[in-house]
Amino acid sequence: MIPQLPLALRWPRRQRFEHFHVGANAVAVAALHELATTPQAPWLYLSGPAGSGKSHLLMATCQAASDAGRAVQYLPLASIGSRAAAIRGVAGSELLALDDLGAIAGDREAEHALFDVYNSAKAEGCALLFAAEAVPAQLGLGLPDLRSRLGACQQAVLKPLDDAERREVLKGQAAARGIELDDTVLDWLFARYARDLGALLDLLDRLDKASLAAQRRITVPFLRGFLRETGETPPG
């Protein structure tokens, strides 16, 4: 059985529904809310490119389900060594979220383990939630029956935020911390740094601490110096 982790570790504070910028993904987020709180809701397969917020939404769904009094488990398959054993080890949850499903593609034992868990969940009334970068037919799974089962789930494709939306989220998160990010800083950052929203928000957390410690505003020179000191120097 997968050991139960402390709540603060399992469900990071920022990875909740209220911290997800919905953008064009309102239908997907509504389906996740329903899955979290309604035992008979359709199972959901969430797909989308890296940085679109899949892991954020899986953990947000788990948190919402836990708040509703349901037993939940989250399995990040890409970061697990013995995936077949981990999948077979899940038990006792009312909602099981399996992230990075592409990590088991071509792993015969892991694919068969997931097929068995899928069938057991149907029989036991456990809800399943899946996330991967590709839809089931394009995931590279070798087990046809597993592809069929996953394809039978309700499908939701996440659309990443565009640059304007990412800028607004970053400015809003900065303002909540009492930080003013002017357009010059944002222009420099978006031209040279990763545009994945999670990476940008992690950077903002670190910049907040560094600017407080240095008693300096976040300007382009401060940002450039910070990234140089942390070994993240972008070009230019």
**Can you spell out the DSSP letters for 22-59?**
-TT-HHHHHHHHHHHH-TTSPPEEEE--TTSSHHHHHH
pLDDT at 3: 39
By DSSP bridging, strand 72-76 and strand 44-47 are: unpaired
| CA–CA dist 224, 85 (Å, integer) | 45
| CA–CA dist 192, 187 (Å, integer) | 9
> Which overall architecture, per CATH, does domain 7-157 show?
3-Layer(aba) Sandwich (3.40)
pLDDT, mean over the chain = 88
Q: What is the pTM of this model?
A: 0.80
Q: Which residues contact 125 (CB under 8 A, 6 or more apart)?
A: 39, 94
pLDDT at 11: 58
Q: Which residues contact 23 (CB under 8 A, 6 or more apart)?
A: 159, 161, 165
Domain residue limits, the chain: 7-157, 163-229
**41 φ/ψ angles, rounded to the nearest 5 degrees:** -65, 150
Per-residue pLDDT of the chain (236 residues; tens, 9 = 90+): 343 433 334 556 667 888 888 889 999 999 999 999 998 999 999 999 988 889 999 999 999 999 999 999 999 999 988 999 999 998 889 999 999 999 999 999 999 999 999 999 999 999 999 999 999 999 999 999 999 999 999 999 999 888 888 888 889 889 988 888 889 999 998 888 766 777 888 888 899 999 999 999 999 999 989 988 888 766 55
Token readout for 42 is 């359709």
| CA–CA dist 101, 136 (Å, integer) | 9
Going by C-alpha positions, the residue among 194, 153, 158 that lies closest to residue 20 is 158
The residue to which tokens 């990443």 are assigned: 160
**74 φ/ψ angles, rounded to the nearest 5 degrees:** -125, 125
